[in-house]
Amino acid sequence: MQLGDVETNTGDGTASRLLQLLAAVGLGCLVSVQARVSADLAERSDVYSAAWVTVVTGTLILLVVLVGSPHARSGFGRVATAVKSGSLPWWALSGGLAGMFFVVTQGAAAGVLGLAMFGMAVVAGQVVGGLVFDWIGLAGGERRSPTRFRVLGAVLAIAAVSWGAIAGDDSNIDVSLIAMAFLAGLGLAAASGVTGRVHSVARSVITAGMLNHLVGLAVIVALLLIIAPESLTGSPFPSEPWLFIGGVIGPIGVAVGAILVHTLGVLLLGLGMVAGQLVGALVLEMVVPTAGVQASSIIGIVLTLLAVAVTSLDGRRRHT
């Protein structure tokens, strides 16, 4: 790489990449709002009914958009053709499974481990998954080797959430639940990759989002039929309109993530979203306090943002 090559990166490419990173952070902020709303929903019923409300709301929104979009509807045909020809593996359609597994894991493990320890295990899974899935090209784009910048960024991110877990007073150790949370993080990273892959074939974020939500809806219905069938025949929907915000955010997250994963990769998208979730949680805690702002949260945010900056240096070198 010539010195002059580095200088050519200081134009539109750098600005575009910065905007993409800011979009990933903004998406993470929305996810933190969704998490707070889902927690309130779960308190009124249970974690499965909360997931049911969120997924159904998102599916209905996507269905309305789908009816008015011939391009999105034709995307299903493109996906079916790609699956039949083998250019798109069938398992790429299973992205919605990861979200539901995360919901189940959150309900089973977060309360026992404590939010800090649970978050550490999930983020560790996302980071490791991001490194591996970018390496094998899960999203269907270019493969990104685990360079020193990417590995250092991953280590910094894990250190950030580990600090929060160590400094938190409510953290507990349960190896099996930590492993379950780690797998949930791996699943979230995989879902980002496969959803991006479906989007590239369907050429429509609405199609990719709808497939994602339909899989998630099928899973949560099956779970409710086994665990709490009365939730399906009763009236699980809340009366307060703001409790549907999580379902509105869901399709937005899937759509934006499917677009960004092609340029940022699974790892950098995940790190940006983690940083956004931490920032969003901090802002929410300041506006609608629950446990109070802790110094460990500030340190975690700084370390995570540093991890994003370090990891992005790898993309900067590659695109110069």
Distance CA 280, CA 53 (A): 22
To the nearest 10°, the Cα dihedral for 13, 275, 166, 183?
Answer: -90
Distance CA 231, CA 247 (A): 18
Q: Which token pair is 97? A: 């499974």
pTM of the model: 0.84
pLDDT at 8 over 70: no
**Tens of pLDDT along 95-118?**
888 888 887 787 677 667 776 777
Q: Residue 90's pLDDT is what?
A: 92
Q: Residue 292's pLDDT is what?
A: 61
Distance CA 41, CA 52 (A): 10
To the nearest 10°, the Cα dihedral for 129, 101, 39, 182?
Answer: -40
Distance CA 148, CA 85 (A): 38
pLDDT at 1 over 60: no
Across 31-40, 60-69, 90-99, 161-170, least confident range: 161-170
Amino acid (one-letter) located at 91: W
SS3 call for 139: coil
Of residues 72, 40, 68, 65, the one with CA closest to residue 54: 40
Average pLDDT score over the chain: 83
Residue carrying structure tokens 């309900």: 107
Q: Residue 107's pLDDT is what?
A: 67
The total of other beta-carbon atoms located within 10 Å of residue 6's CB is 12
Long-range contacts of residues 9-16, Cβ cutoff 8 Å, at least 24 apart: 9/316, 9/319, 9/320, 13/319, 14/316
Distance CA 240, CA 223 (A): 25
The total of other beta-carbon atoms located within 10 Å of residue 259's CB is 18
**Tens of pLDDT along 228-271?**
777 666 656 777 888 888 889 989 998 899 999 988 999 999 99
The answer to whether 289 and 281 are in contact (CB under 8 A) is: no
Q: Which of 42-56, 120-134, 160-174 has the highest mean pLDDT?
A: 120-134
The answer to whether 95 and 212 are in contact (CB under 8 A) is: yes
Is 221 buried (19+), middle (13-18) or exposed (0-12) by CB count in 10 A?
A: middle
User: Where along the chain do its domains lie?
Assistant: 11-318
Output the CA torsion sign for 35, 36, 40, 41: negative
DSSP code of 62? H
Which residues are within 8 A (CB) of 14 and not within 5 positions of it... i.e. 6 or more apart?
316
Better-predicted residue by pLDDT, 45 or 308: 308
SS3 call for 83: helix
Across 101-105, 127-131, 215-219, least confident range: 101-105
